[in-house]
Amino acid sequence: MNMMISTLNPVLLGLIADVDAMVTADESCLERRIADRLKPILSTPGLLRGASIQFRQEDYTLNVLYSDPAGRWAIAAVAWLPGQKSSIHDHQTWCAFGVYEGEAVEEYFCATDGTATHCGQRALPTGATGFAGASCDNRQAAIHRLGNHGEQPLVSLHVYGCDLGRGASSVATKFDS
């Protein structure tokens, strides 16, 4: 499920090439490296021009922009209306993300007996990045929830170590709060 590559912004095409090279090289702490690579491009005007970004009233929307033909990774633009948030979850694979438009809130949770307890949060303004996954020694956001607590729509860019184009998910476990 790839968009026509020719319609994507050249900066986004550069990200695709760089992520592919990193995944192929099997670099350590991939999610942190990809989050670092996302940071400078999030302020690019028209970064998502040519991409069809859809919002839905009932829930946030995962808009797949690119899926690696070998099924190793994918890029999605996630569209959030005010008040929308993900479930409390952890990841079975790596994930890097950055805020393109708007402001997100990332909440952290500690799990005890299958129940998640709120442990903290941080505001993520436009340009902020984060990551989750198991390949970094110093794991960030092992259990977290992202959401739009603001009054304006939010668009975040996510790079996942799974094949979203074929319906895969990076989420391992959804927790009760």
Torsion of CA 101, 105, 108, 111, to 10 degrees: -100
pLDDT class of 1 with cuts at 50, 70, 90: very low
Report the pLDDT value the prediction gives residue 34, as an integer from 0 to 100: 94
Asked if residues 129 and 42 have their Cβ atoms less than 8 Å apart, the reply is yes
Q: What angle do CA 139, 28, 94 make, to 5 degrees?
A: 50
What is the distance in angstroms between the CA of the first residue and the CA of the last residue of the chain?
Answer: 33
DSSP state of 31: H
The beta-carbon contacts of 111-115 under 8 Å, at least 24 apart in sequence, are 111/143, 111/175, 114/175, 114/176, 115/175, 115/176, 115/177
Structure-token pair, residue 160? 């996942």
Residue 123 pLDDT: 96
Q: Report the pLDDT value the prediction gives residue 138, as an integer from 0 to 100.
A: 46
Radius of gyration, alpha carbons of the chain: 15
pLDDT exceeding 90 applies to what percent of the chain? 53
Instruction: Name which of 12-26, 54-68, 125-139 the model is least confident about.
Output: 125-139
Reply yes or no on whether the pLDDT at 118 is more than 60. Answer: yes
Give the range of the structural domain holding residue 109, as residue numbers without chain letter.
5-175
Identify the residue with better confidence: 61 or 131.
61
* Residue linked to tokens 């020719």: 6
For 140-171, what is each residue's pLDDT tens digit? Answer: 457 788 999 999 999 999 998 877 666 545 55
Q: What is the CATH number of the domain that holds 142?
A: 2.60.120.10
**Count: domains in the chain:** 1
Q: Is 93 helix (H, G, I), strand (E, B) or coil?
A: coil
pLDDT, average across residues 103-111? 88
Higher pLDDT among residues 89 and 56, named by residue: 56
